[in-house]
Amino acid sequence: MGTFSGLIRSFRYGAVALLCNLALAASVGSAAAAETVTVAALGDSLTQGYGLPQEEGFVPRMEAWLRTEGADVSMINAGVSGDTTAGGLSRVDWTLTPEVDAMIVTLGGNDFLRGIDPAVSRENLRGILEAAEAKEVEVLLVGMQSSNNYGPAFKAAFDSMYPELAEEFDVPLYLSFFGGLGMEGDAAGAAQDLMQADGIHPNAAGVALIVEAMGPAVLQLVNSVR
C-alpha cells in the first residue's frame, strides 16, 4: 500500500513538473517571439519599390541589411505609389497595428512634384507623428529636399519642415532619402546611373546604396525599441 501511495505521489509530482516545464517553455518561446521588432515603412513609391522586382525594393533590402547586422526585425511595406503626405496621414492609423513597434516615414516627394503648399505638407506630417506618439511607436523621419522649381521660398519652407518637425517631436531625422547616392553638386550626373529611366526612382544598384547609407539610422531605431 505504501509503495502504491509512493507511486501516486511520484506520478503527481512528475505531472506537475511536466506542466511547469511546458509553461516555462511557452513563456520562453513567447519572450523570444516578442523580441522581434516590427517596423512599418510608411511612404510612397520610393518605399513601395516602384519599377523593381519585389526582392530588390527598399523594404526587403533594408530588412535583409538589418538582419545581417544581427537585428531580429520584421518590416512591413506600407509604401503606396503616388502617395502624398495627405495619403499617408489618411492611412497611418490602420498602418499602426498593435504589433508595430517602430515606423519609418518617407513622404513628401509627391507633394513637391505637385507643388502642394509646404505648410499643408507640414501639417500632414505633424498628424502622422502625432498618431505615432499617441500609440507610443518610435519613428525615424526621412527628409526630402526640393529643387528651385517653385522658387527659393518654397524650397526653404519644404526643406526645413523635416528638421523642424523632428525637433518638435523629438524623433531622429535621416536628412535625405537620396543621401546615399551623392546627388549633390558635381556628383549628380554620376548618380543618374543609379536611377531608373524616369530619373525619379532608384534602380536596384541605387537602392542598395540607399539602404547601406540609411541602414545604421534604422538599426538605431530598432535598438531604441529594445
Please pick, among 5, 147, 170, 198, the residue that the annotation labels catalytic.
Answer: 198
Q: Residue 161: which of 212, 201, 105 has the closest Cα? A: 105
Hey, what amino acid is at 177?
F
* Chain mean position to CA 55: 16
Q: What's the longest Cα–Cα distance across the chain?
A: 98
Please pick, among 83, 146, 159, 201, the residue that the annotation labels catalytic.
Answer: 201
Residue 198 is a catalytic residue = yes
Please pick, among 45, 121, 146, 176, the residue that the annotation labels catalytic.
Answer: 45
Q: How far is CA 41 from CA 102, 105, 139, in A?
A: 9, 6, 10
Residue 201 is a catalytic residue = yes
Q: What is the DSSP letter of 60?
A: H
User: CB 183: neighbour CB atoms within 10 A?
Assistant: 18
Q: CA–CA separation, 62 vs 164, rounded Å?
A: 26
Grid coordinates representing 189 are 550626373
Q: CA–CA separation, 105 vs 221, rounded Å?
A: 12
Residue 74 is a catalytic residue = no
Active site residues: 45, 198, 201
